[in-house]
Chains A and B, each alone.
Chain A
Amino acid sequence: MSFELPKLPYAYDALEPHIDARTMEIHHSKHHQAYTTNLNAAIAGTDLEGKTIEEILKVCKDKPAVRNNGGGFWNHNLFWEVMAPNAGGQPTGELATAIDTAFGSFDAFKEEFAKAGATRFGSGWAWLCVEEGKLVVCSTANQDNPLMGEGCTGTAILAMDVWEHAYYLNYQNRRPDYINAFFNVINWAVVAEKFVAAK
């Protein structure tokens, strides 16, 4: 049983104008597809074949092809899930309270998360994770993620791709503008479900 590229629950143009249709199409059908294909190739015939992606990510540190493509596969799965059209705004309920507790306010969280993305030099991701019931922000290089023991040690509930391919067609060198726009497409209802499941 090999891994498959997940279908998006929305159209490529659904996140316009924040994320443009062409970026979404290439990002999903080319980049994410390549990670999926290359992950399957990297584990074929090894003892990792048949394992879940979570199991694979815990033991892939010394296997660059599995690490890079397994990370790429898992990270993009989460990324598509935590975005939606007509989304953004602020979380409510338990997650809102937890954000206030951890960061002081939603604006303070936004600032810290944006900084994590803006200061990640080169390619990588910014994360919101649950560590022993508490929320933390971190970032990782390339396609690494917290399941590998990189960045935060907790469970990731929000992921923001800051590889240039995530924003270059629309924003070019202006990564901070992309990050600002990303807040307009965060699906807080899904992030809140992940928070409840993780804490």
Chain B
Amino acid sequence: MKKLTILLALFITNIVSAQTFTLPSLSYAYNALEPTIDSVTMRIHHSKHHQAYVTNLNKALGATNTKSLAEILAGVSSQPAVVRNNAGGHYNHTLFWEILSPTPIKTPSAELLSQITKQYTSLDSLQKMITVSGTGLFGSGWVWLIVTPTNELKITTTVNQDNPLMDLVTDKGTPILAIDVWEHAYYLKYQNKRADYLKNIWKVIDWKAVSEKYTATLKK
């Protein structure tokens, strides 16, 4: 009887700590980022692409998974490709939606702006460098602004759904800004003109959200 109670307790603990991931709701409507990002793109991107990453991640991990998304990404080199691709897809899109806004604050916090100015001269030149990096990434992937382990800012790109939190990437750090350069992020509106998409996206990037992530990262 005692053995059974222990088994039951273990079983319940497992249920309680099991991790199932869910698609986050957007804090704005699909058409809220028009005309920079069109409503059809937003709807398919969120409700189809992002949803598929979430569904496939849960399927790949099974009901017994207890790891958080951060833990999965930090040890992704020992996971199968299906986990790498879908865990990355889930994390990357979640961050992407968070730093976009129909009413974006166009200036970073004093703290972040001072670091940007120190490293990149101005916000404008940082944005231009990110745009160039994103345009130059061949194939599908992401361009990032990360905080490195030594608290420096760094622009980096990753292929497919990889990200800077993964143990297998070269440039590791905490992402505070993410821009999706998969063709599905812009093709319906911009087609082959990725550079135009990247030039325009600054109109909907919320530096308040980016700044909050910067502050939170420094505090860690």
Contact = CB atoms under 8 A, between A and B. Distances in A.
B63 interface: no
A60 to B, nearest CB: 13
A121 B82 CA distance: 9
Contact of B192 (A34, A121, A123): A34
25 contacts: A26-B191, A30-B191, A31-B192, A34-B192, A64-B138, A121-B81, A121-B160, A121-B161, A122-B182, A123-B183, A141-B139, A142-B138, A143-B138, A163-B139, A164-B140, A164-B184, A165-B183, A165-B187, A165-B191, A165-B192, A168-B183, A168-B187, A168-B188, A169-B191, A172-B184
Task: Among A26, A122, A124, A141, find the residue whose CB has the most chain B CB atoms closer than 10 A.
Answer: A122
B44 interface: yes
A25 to B, nearest CB: 10
B44 A164 contact: no
A141 B160 CA distance: 10
A158 B156 CA distance: 36
B168 interface: no
Nearest to A65: B138
Interface string A79-110: 00000000000000000000000000000000
A122 B159 CA distance: 8
Contacts of A123: 139-140, 183
Contacts of A30: 191-192
Interface string B148-161: 00000000000111
B53 to A, nearest CB: 11
A180 interface: no
Contacts of B85: 121
Interface in B38-67: 44, 48-49, 52
Interface in A141-197: 141-143, 163-165, 168-169, 172-173
B38 to A, nearest CB: 12
Interface in A113-134: 121-124
Contacts of A121: 81, 85, 160-161
Contacts, number: 55
Contact of A173 (B49, B139, B141): B49
Nearest to B141: A122
B86 to A, nearest CB: 9
Interface string A9-50: 000000000000000001000110010000000000000000
A173 B192 contact: no
Interface of A: 26, 30-31, 34, 64, 68, 121-124, 141-143, 163-165, 168-169, 172-173
Given A122-B159, A168-B184, A173-B52, A26 B192 contact: yes
Given A168-B188, A169-B188, A172-B44, A163 B138 contact: no
B15 to A, nearest CB: 32
A135 B81 CA distance: 27
Contact of A122 (B44, B48, B52, B140): B140
B200 to A, nearest CB: 18
Given A121-B160, A122-B159, A164 B183 contact: yes
A143 B206 CA distance: 34
A68 B138 contact: yes
A-B CB proximity, top 5 nearest: A164-B183, A122-B140, A122-B160, A142-B139, A123-B139
A164 B188 contact: no
A28 to B, nearest CB: 11
